[in-house]
Amino acid sequence: MSLPPLVVSVRNPRLVGQFQNSADLLFVADVKLHRRDVQTRIFEDVMFVESEDENRTIAFIYGIEKESGEPTAIPTLLPRDAGKTQQQFIHVLRHETSVDSASLGMLASLFTGRAYRTEAKVTAAYIVAREKDHDIAVGFHNDEGVYELIVAPDTDDLLDMARATLPFDEIG
């Protein structure tokens, strides 16, 4: 079964705070996932982390660094169930990635990042909404089933696609 591509947009990224004993920053933003003629979903207050080292700044969806998708520390400013909501969001993204791969069939193996495409698209949309040029970090199961954390090698392409996407309010 062939599905239309998933369009992703992010709006209103805002700083929540800095992690204790770390320079990492926590942001929240609203995310829209849209498949034309299929479904549009909006997720509010999705958490993102920006982490800087001496060479670069990376951005990632908070919780993606763990196989379970559950963030470890939720600031008290956020709702008590924010961790579970974030984990559910990550599961939705992973499901969408598997749907896209299944839709492509045998051709899926030809695409870089097929195992983390949706997660990377969301992160790219977040970076573009922040008007930054960060690298994208993702966590995913590789072809051997091992959970990996990487900086997406196709970050520049993902950011270019995100920049070419319609604004949040014009999608769906």
Beta-carbon neighbour count of residue 30 at 10 Å? 17
- The Cα–Cα gap between 48 and 31 comes to 11
Asked whether residue 126 carries a pLDDT value surpassing 90, the answer given is yes
Asked whether residue 3 carries a pLDDT value surpassing 70, the answer given is no
- The Cα–Cα gap between 10 and 169 comes to 10
Which residue bears the tokens 């690298």? 135
The pLDDT tens digits of the residues spanning 105-116 come to 666 666 667 788
DSSP SS3 for 101: helix
* Residue of 151 and 100 predicted with greater confidence: 151
The pLDDT tens digits of the residues spanning 41-96 come to 999 999 999 999 888 999 999 999 999 998 988 878 788 899 999 999 999 999 99
Q: What angle do CA 137, 139, 145 make, to 5 degrees?
A: 145
Give the closest residue to 61 by CA, choosing from 34, 92, 21: 92
- DSSP 8-state symbol, 107: G
The pLDDT tens digits of the residues spanning 135-171 come to 999 999 888 899 999 999 999 999 999 999 999 999 9
Query: What's this model's pTM, rounded to 2 decimal places?
Result: 0.93
